[in-house]
Amino acid sequence: MEHTRPVLVVDFGAQYAQLIARRVREAHVYSEIVPRSMPVSEMLARRPHAIIFSGGPASVHVDGAPSIDPAVYEAGVPILGICYGAQLIASQLGGEVRKTGTGEYGRTELEVLSPSVLFAEQPLEQIVWMSHGDSITDAPAGFAVTAKTPGTPVAGLEDRDRSIYGVQFHPEVMHTERGMELLKAFLYDVAGCAPTWTHVSIIEQAVQEVREQVGDARVICGLSGGVDSAVAAALVHKAIGDQLTCVFVDTGLLRLHEADQVEETFRRQFSIDLVHVKAADRFVGALDDVIDPERKRKIIGEMFIRVFEEAARDLGDAKYLVQGTLYPDIVESGGGENANIKSHHNVGGLPDDMEFELVEPLRNLFKDEVRAVGEELGLPEEIVWRQPFPGPGLAVRIVGTVTPERIRILQQADAVVMEEIKRAGLYREIWQSFAVLPAVRTVGVMGDDRTYAYPIILRAVTSDDAMTADWARLPYDVLERIASRVINEVPGVNRVAYDITSKPPGTIEWE
């Protein structure tokens, strides 16, 4: 298929390499990130439509600065260098790169100097985003200077004959007003790419690959209710229908009605063969009197494996296991070489000796593509846009002992939180919002009676990646509605508090 010929993004150490690849895909052109250590011959063997050099933190002048075999310039493949990538082109082809003392960081005014296909139909003055210490002071022979800024005499350069282009600024960041136009001009008008990478084509390709991989063998998939495993299951089902069996383990530690929702979606809506293992008693029993958070995690992880293995054994002839591994997981574990990825992303930490071969239909996709594919496949919004949920479930949101009664309280309170956050239109913009049940009780008064009951802690955070998080500035009226509904509707609760701790120093979960 046409879109299997990629645009390669060579990673020179930028935090932006992933962003470049995503922007290229947003222009409906398939792209992949490759490490700069990949030999140029190997890059060319992929028959790339074009190669983009990312930015990077180094200076071309330091010893061991990231570089690339100059053979790449002779291959006839269009090249676009961004920031460090542009400086590398300039320095390797005989131009000059210097520390001029006028580095630029942030919003910068760009002046377009000469007609360039990259800037075609764009205003001659525009705002771009810069982040560089060194500057290109002289373009190599044969290159035209296409743009400058107050601090950078060569902010754009190109050799049209050899199809080599460079820009000092970052077209991939949103603050560069015309960045997406520039990338599209490079992809469509310079490299001749067609916008064939669409959600429909992603699905077609994944379906074809899954069919080729598994033939007529039986396949199983562990469903967690989260978006990745759900989309992976729906895709594999589209590919092989009845050969797929999904296993959903109800640990009893799920959100209210979550098990019903998974069952409704997969068994009834998609007619997927679903094994629903009702194991709440086993999980909750195993947690009896357990207080330590790490012990809770360990007990739940092990129990999950045991239950899943039993279910898999009952389906004795399954040879393949579906996993919802995503592209960033693969890139982060070694730039496209998947050797060391598998152990990280096993469903619930399944052991290696299960002897399944893995099917990973999302391994080339970013999260936003996964959600779009999920929508295209007809998965309900509640699954496609679900907030992250920890593997050990509500057990790590119940501080102290986990009992059926305390699970009931938390599930009911959590359902109110979710309903009100959704009603306020905040569900998608908030990273996670949920209720926590602490191990204390407090005094209150309801009617004429004194109460002695649990408080509920409300936790809502904004975040990009869960590594850091800030508490969400929820409107007072939303806080008030949640508090009054939880206290009125959930027996056993007489108080609601809001957690205003960021991460760090806190974590998102309470345990």
Catalytic member of 49, 170, 276, 345 = 170
Cβ-proximal residues to 292 (8 Å cutoff; 6+ apart), any chain: none
172 catalytic? Reply is yes
Side-by-side strand order, sheet with 218-223: 273-278, 244-250, 218-223, 318-322, 357-359
Total interface residues for ligand XMP by CB under 6 A: 12
Q: Which two tokens stand for residue 509?
A: 């979960």
Quick one: 118 or 383, whose CB is closer to ligand XMP?
383
> Which residue's CB is nearer to ligand XMP, number 277 or number 430?
430
Q: How far is the CB of 164 from ligand XMP (least distance, A)?
A: 43
The CB density around residue 81, as the number of other CB atoms within 10 Å, is: 27
- Among residues 388, 381, 399, 384, the alpha carbon closest in space to that of 461 is found at 388
Tokens of 363: 């391994």
Alpha carbon distances (Å) from 49 to 33, 78, 81, 286? 14, 7, 15, 56
Residue 509 binds to ligand XMP (criterion: CB under 6 A): yes
Among 153, 390, 444, 492, binds ligand XMP (CB under 6 A): 390
508 scored as a contact of ligand XMP (CB under 6 A): yes
What CA–CA distance (Å, rounded) separates 418 from 413?
9
Binding characters for ligand XMP, 252-291, by CB under 6 A (x = yes): ----------------------------------------
Which candidate in 32, 104, 172, 181 is catalytic?
A: 172
User: Would you count residue 391 as binding ligand XMP (CB under 6 A)?
Assistant: yes
> And the tokens for 30?
């398939």
Q: Find, among 375, 383, 341, 373, the residue nearest to 358 by Cα.
A: 341
Tell me which residue of 421, 359, 342 sits closest to 385, measured CA to CA: 421
Q: Which is nearer to ligand XMP, 184 or 345 (CB)?
A: 345
Residues from 418 through 447 that contact ligand XMP (CB under 6 A): 432
Instruction: Choose one: 89-97, 150-158, 386-394, 406-414; the region binding ligand XMP (CB under 6 A).
Output: 386-394
Q: Taking the CB of residue 71, how many other CB atoms lie within 10 A of it?
A: 12
d(CA 412, CA 237): 33
Tokens of 423: 């009603």
Q: Least distance in Å: CB of 293 to ligand XMP?
A: 9
13 or 506: whose CB is closer to ligand XMP? 506
Residues 103-122 that bind ligand XMP (CB under 6 A): none
Pick from 299, 302, 285, 366: nearest CA to 331 = 366
**Binding of residue 297 to ligand XMP (CB under 6 A):** yes
Residue number of the CB closest to ligand XMP reads 391
Does position 36 bind ligand XMP by CB under 6 A?
no
Give 126 or 229: the residue with its C-beta nearer to ligand XMP.
229
Between 35 and 391, name the residue whose CB sits nearer to ligand XMP: 391
Least gap, CB of 281 to ligand XMP (angstroms): 22
Query: Based on CB atoms, which residue is closest to ligand XMP, 89 or 508?
Result: 508
- The reply to whether 388 sits near ligand XMP by the rule CB under 6 A is yes
Integer-rounded Cα radius of gyration of the chain: 27
Binding mask 334-373 for ligand XMP (x = CB under 6 A): ----------------------------------------
Q: What is the dihedral of CA 53, 13, 34, 42, to 10 degrees?
A: 80
User: Using the rule CB under 6 A, is 393 a contact of ligand XMP?
Assistant: no
Concatenate the DSSP letters of all residues of 30-67 into one string: -EEEEETTS-HHHHHHT--SEEEE---SS-TTSTT---
The two structure tokens encoding residue 443? 């005094």
Say whether residue 466 binds ligand XMP (CB under 6 A).
Answer: yes
Angle, helices 367-376/227-240, rounded to nearest 10 degrees: 50
Smallest gap, in angstroms, from Cβ of residue 509 to ligand XMP? 3
Site for ligand XMP in 213-232 (CB under 6 A): none
Nearer to ligand XMP, 96 or 509 (CB): 509
User: Which entry of 83, 193, 221, 246 is annotated as an active-site residue?
Assistant: 83
Contact 330, 341 (CB under 8 A): yes
d(CA 33, CA 42): 13
User: What is the closest distance, in whole angstroms, from the C-beta atom of residue 223 to ligand XMP in the complex?
Assistant: 14
Is 207 an interacting residue with respect to ligand XMP (CB under 6 A)? no
Neighbours of 194 (CB within 10 A): 12
* Contact set with ligand XMP (CB under 6 A): 297, 388, 390-392, 396, 432, 466, 503, 507-509
Q: Where in the sequence numbering do the catalytic residues fall?
A: 83, 170, 172
